[in-house]
Chain A
Amino acid sequence: MARRGGLNGGYDPLRPTLWQRADVLLRRTVPGGLTLILLLMSVAPSRLPGFVHIAPMIALISVYYWAVSRPDVMGYGTAFLLGMVEDSLTGAPLGVGALVLLLTQVVVSSQYKFFLGKPFLVSWWAFSLIAGGAALIKWLAVSAIYGTMVDMTALFFSYLFTLAVYPPFAWLFGRVQTMFFREG
């Protein structure tokens, strides 16, 4: 067995690995952190008439994007916490957003192999299905909690708006991905 580093610490082999680990860990917080910032930005008052009711579901876009392209960098815990923050800020019943993001993460990352090497249009099309499912589940859960069918009109427009802003956000996340997770 090799001599332990101990006192002649200049060549301690543990040191670089620790840094590397810290580096990897920090990089892995980037998708979650970025989503958190976007989430906070999305609740900032826009003061544009009517915008607040159809605001896009930013956290959903992000969770979907990372589950499709790098399922290892955004775990269940992150998706859950993002959902809890979303619910707390928006005043929606606590736990609903968390459940929806968690389900999105699980369903999409299980289909990771399907998305490998597929063109952008395929992931956009799949997003339209996933986002529709997510919106529907959220609507069902909220309606069940309140014991009445809440009006869906705003949700429908918010869904369309979310689909429309998916490409620029996917582009942004793609840039972040090449910046922090360089390989292919």
Chain B
Amino acid sequence: MKQPTGPSSRLGALGAFLQKSAFLMLAFVAFAFMLLGKADTVLVERVRSTVLDAAAPVLDFMSTPAENVAAVFSTFRELAAIRAENDRLEKENARLMRWQTAARHLEAENDALREQLGYIPEPEASYITGRVVADTGGTFARSLVVLAGTRDGVRKGQAVVSGEGLVGTVAEAGMRASRVLLLSDINSRIPVLLEESRVRAIMTGDNQDRPQLRFLKQRTTVSPGDRVVTSGDARVFPPGIPIGVVASVDDKSGIRVDLFVEQERLEVVRVADFGLSGILPEDAGK
């Protein structure tokens, strides 16, 4: 009777060695991913979008009960304020009716003037609608996962909008799901325009609720209450998508913008294809 010593003991020793070095190897891999991520490689993006795709069906399933819980909460909140809300809406409706008349008038005038100038209209945007199935915030990142991917036509760099205005940009597009970088994320850089004064700036996030306006040409002309919209520079977004209003101007924290879009309230967003190439072309590395 032979004892199967040779290969199995060697295997055992190998196993023990692997066990011991597993921690060091994995720690090394984690560091490697951090460095690769900083260099913005395709590999890191692949890993992320693969995980997203794998998690998409589960996220889809899990976000439904969460939505129901939230719906119950908001029903109670709405019931409490329903009379005041009705009053407010009636006043707003009256005000909007006046605006509608003004807008119709302006539209007609605009059309007439465009015709005289031989103006070439901008390409119409097409939209892909997706449900928000995951939502992360806090100190490290601000992003959403949307249930729409490359098979639906979503591509990296596209603008994501909701009824209130700009939400963010597509950071990674998987086949079934994509991750949206919110305007408040530390990696977010959006060329913007102050609507009234036409001052251009870059809006940068820093993982806090209110992004900052930087690189302004005329700083003195900015005051709280100014509307901020996309400028259309760098061909990332078309001009004029609403973003927010200037909340505060001070020397210490800079110029902060109150965003129109509230992250917690987003249930469905639209990924917009404006036919612009963007600054994050999909095939840049190839």
Q: Which residues of A contact B (CB under 8 A)?
A: 1, 37, 40-41, 43-55, 75-77, 80, 83-85, 87-96, 98-99, 102-103, 106, 138-139, 141-142, 145-146, 148, 150-155, 158
Interface pick from B4-12, B84-92, B179-187, B242-250? B179-187
Task: Please provide the chain B residues from 126 to 147 with a CB less than 8 Å away from any CB of chain A in the complex.
Answer: 132-143, 145
22 contacts between A and B (CB under 8 A): A40-B62, A41-B66, A44-B66, A45-B67, A45-B134, A47-B66, A47-B265, A48-B264, A51-B264, A53-B138, A77-B22, A83-B30, A84-B47, A85-B51, A89-B52, A89-B55, A95-B30, A95-B33, A142-B140, A151-B206, A154-B139, A154-B207
Q: Which 10 A-B pairs have the closest CB atoms?
A: A95-B33, A47-B70, A88-B51, A91-B143, A52-B137, A91-B141, A155-B139, A99-B30, A45-B135, A90-B136
B residues near A95, Cβ cutoff 8 Å: 29-34, 37
User: How far does the alpha carbon of A46 sit from the alpha carbon of B133 in the complex, in Å?
Assistant: 10
Q: A84-B47, A90-B136, A146-B186 are in contact. List 8 more A-B contacts (CB 8 A).
A: A45-B267, A47-B73, A89-B134, A91-B136, A91-B171, A95-B30, A102-B23, A148-B206
B62/A138 in contact, CB under 8 A: no
Partner of B139, one of A45, A83, A94, A152: A152
* Chain B minimum-CB-distance residue to A55: B138
B140/A138 in contact, CB under 8 A: yes
Known: A47-B66, A83-B30. A150 touches B206 (CB 8 A): yes
Q: What is the minimal beta-carbon distance from A7 to any residue of chain B, in angstroms? A: 22
User: How far does the alpha carbon of A91 sit from the alpha carbon of B44 in the complex, in Å?
Assistant: 11
* Chain B minimum-CB-distance residue to A142: B140
* Chain A minimum-CB-distance residue to B174: A88
User: How far does the alpha carbon of A76 sit from the alpha carbon of B29 in the complex, in Å?
Assistant: 12
B120 beta carbon closer than 8 Å to chain A: no
Partner of B44, one of A45, A94, A103: A94
Interface centre among B30, B206, B265, B266 (most CB of A within 10 A): B30
User: How far does the alpha carbon of A98 sit from the alpha carbon of B63 in the complex, in Å?
Assistant: 24
